[in-house]
A and B are shown apart, each in its own frame.
Chain A
């Protein structure tokens, strides 16, 4: 079998392979280090980090649903200083060779900026993933990522604050995700990642109570994959910057679908809970997928989708030759 070039580029950042972990499902990697070889990952994306500690939501915070799960963790994290002292220090000590992408959160633009400014003083961070699904306290708690204006504003401010690679993570809880993607591209985002969780809920009919203490929460897992794939396809058709696709990815064929739809790289989230080896299996599986088809570079999968129209066009061209 051919050797496959598995490397991909996200802006200036070159990754050994296109498989990342999705924020919030992987800590900063430490918890998984006993179970898998972290050096096999394209990059580790950390849980959300904010400027001060966030205590998150009351329990229950999790509910299993058909082919997925709901969570309302509420971005609980100990704040940027503790992140630097614990997680970042651990990463630099144990796995400095694995690119680390820090997921950045804020309730105000200033909070996003102060996280990025503080992290910019530290070595060992490859990129920021800016989570714009956070509630904007200056706009009645509506998520930044739900309007082009607010999404642009966060991106512009973060862009001005750092020279590091910025990935803006898009919310799927919008009517036109491609419009949001174009807005953040225009403000200097180096890449976009999507999708974050879809807003959902579940009810316990024995108690008449919601299954999550916060009533609503984010749906993730295989249940959301078709929606995620559709959004990745729409966004990658609308922007020129790389797209990192996620949402229900559990196998190499899932990952290949996202790449064919236009993703440059993919991230594995909820599937880590079912099998911590999933991301590593996907790295191997994608390589086999390419090798068995004579594809020399995994990046050749990106945007390789043949749509009925394109197929018809090609047939027409070939027939006229």
Chain B
């Protein structure tokens, strides 16, 4: 159940001032920012997030939660799409700027100790929390397949990183400009059909995650999802980010963002 699923040994959240070391566009509206924050970088687990205070001025702006895309001993990388005021403001940050962050936050992916055959299913920037997961699984001796859907070839952000890391990658695009022409669930359905998948992890639009969760359930395979919610506090105090589950209302920022798909009570979205 969700309640027990909070992983032991996860680092307590810290409030730190990170230094921007780079901030660049990787495609038309997707950016990658690198933040130096050794304590957070060295303790963040795959699937966790940080809560960033973006505004440097006096204007009121709530923090924004971002999945950690990659981390080494010193730095974390965050992949973000320019969608609104917060991400626009973030794109203006320059190397050397200081930025307040709270992290590592939330409950990340469950990573089996014994080698497994894992299927990762990403929709668009839902790929972000899957990169650290792929790395951790590979380190544990697991094999990783990635089914990755995006509107266009250009939006298959970071796809080459997964290939280079030895993952089997199946791309799907809405316009057919790369990989299979169509939805990512075609690829995930095919892979689950082979019977060679032990566990599914997915992140992306909620309709897609819900469809993937249904495919996994029908195939009798465990599935974890990473759900996005609007967050105010990010630390479990305000109850803005509720996910209805079979174990009651859970907070995406503490009990999630990763949930066991079978526990989630899906809404209308």
Q: Does A134 contact B (CB under 8 A)?
A: no
Q: Does B232 contact A (CB under 8 A)?
A: yes
Check A64/B102 contact, CB under 8 A, given A25-B233, A34-B13.
Answer: no
Q: Does B117 contact A (CB under 8 A)?
A: no
Contact with A56, one of B14, B229, B239 (Cβ below 8 angstroms):
B239
Bound CA span A302–B77, Å: 48
Contact with B100, one of A59, A64, A222, A275 (Cβ below 8 angstroms):
A275
Bound CA span A25–B53, Å: 17
Of A68-76, A147-155, A186-194, A239-247, which stretch is located at the interface? A68-76
Chain A residues closer than 8 Å to B232, beta-carbon distance: 62, 69, 71, 270, 273
Q: Does A96 contact B (CB under 8 A)?
A: no
* Complex contact B237–A26 (CB within 8 A): yes
* Complex contact A221–B242 (CB within 8 A): no
Q: Does B240 contact A (CB under 8 A)?
A: yes
* Complex contact A31–B236 (CB within 8 A): yes
13 pairs, CB–CB < 8 Å, chain A vs chain B: A25-B237, A27-B236, A27-B238, A34-B12, A55-B249, A56-B249, A62-B241, A68-B60, A76-B239, A272-B237, A273-B238, A274-B62, A275-B53
Q: Does A276 contact B (CB under 8 A)?
A: yes
* Complex contact B15–A35 (CB within 8 A): yes
User: Looking at B12, B233, B235, B237, which has the most chain A CB atoms within 10 Å of its CB?
Assistant: B237
Secondary structure class of chain A's binding surface, majority of residues: loop
Q: Does B73 contact A (CB under 8 A)?
A: no
Bound CA span A62–B65, Å: 14
CB proximity of A268 to chain B, nearest CB, Å: 13
Chain A residues closer than 8 Å to B267, beta-carbon distance: 58-59
* Complex contact A62–B15 (CB within 8 A): no
Chain A: number of interface residues, binned into ranges: 35 or more
Chain A residues closer than 8 Å to B242, beta-carbon distance: 56, 59, 61, 76
Contact with B239, one of A36, A73, A222, A272 (Cβ below 8 angstroms):
A73
* Complex contact B238–A71 (CB within 8 A): yes
Q: Write out, one digit per residue, whether chain B residues 230-257 have a CB within 8 A of any chain A CB (1) or not (0).
A: 1111111111111000000100001000
Q: Does A94 contact B (CB under 8 A)?
A: no
Q: Does A277 contact B (CB under 8 A)?
A: yes
* Complex contact B238–A24 (CB within 8 A): yes
Bound CA span A63–B232, Å: 9
Secondary structure class of chain B's binding surface, majority of residues: loop
Residue ranges of B at the interface with A (Cβ–Cβ < 8 Å): 12-15, 53, 59-63, 85, 100, 102, 229-242, 249, 254, 267
* Complex contact A25–B238 (CB within 8 A): yes
Bound CA span A73–B254, Å: 17
Bound CA span A69–B14, Å: 24
CB proximity of B234 to chain A, nearest CB, Å: 8
Contact with A250, one of B60, B62, B230, B236 (Cβ below 8 angstroms):
B60
* Complex contact A31–B15 (CB within 8 A): no
CB proximity of B128 to chain A, nearest CB, Å: 21
* Complex contact A276–B62 (CB within 8 A): no
**10 smallest A-B Cβ distances: which pairs?**
A62-B240, A27-B237, A31-B237, A31-B236, A67-B60, A273-B232, A31-B235, A35-B15, A62-B230, A34-B12
Bound CA span A233–B59, Å: 25
Chain B residues closer than 8 Å to A34, beta-carbon distance: 12-14
* Complex contact A60–B230 (CB within 8 A): yes
Bound CA span A67–B239, Å: 20
CB proximity of A221 to chain B, nearest CB, Å: 6
Bound CA span A56–B102, Å: 27
* Complex contact B15–A277 (CB within 8 A): yes
Bound CA span A69–B230, Å: 12
* Complex contact B102–A35 (CB within 8 A): yes
Check A71/B60 contact, CB under 8 A, given A34-B13, A34-B14.
Answer: no
Bound CA span A14–B59, Å: 35
Bound CA span A193–B15, Å: 30
* Complex contact A64–B235 (CB within 8 A): no
Chain B residues closer than 8 Å to A76, beta-carbon distance: 239, 242, 249
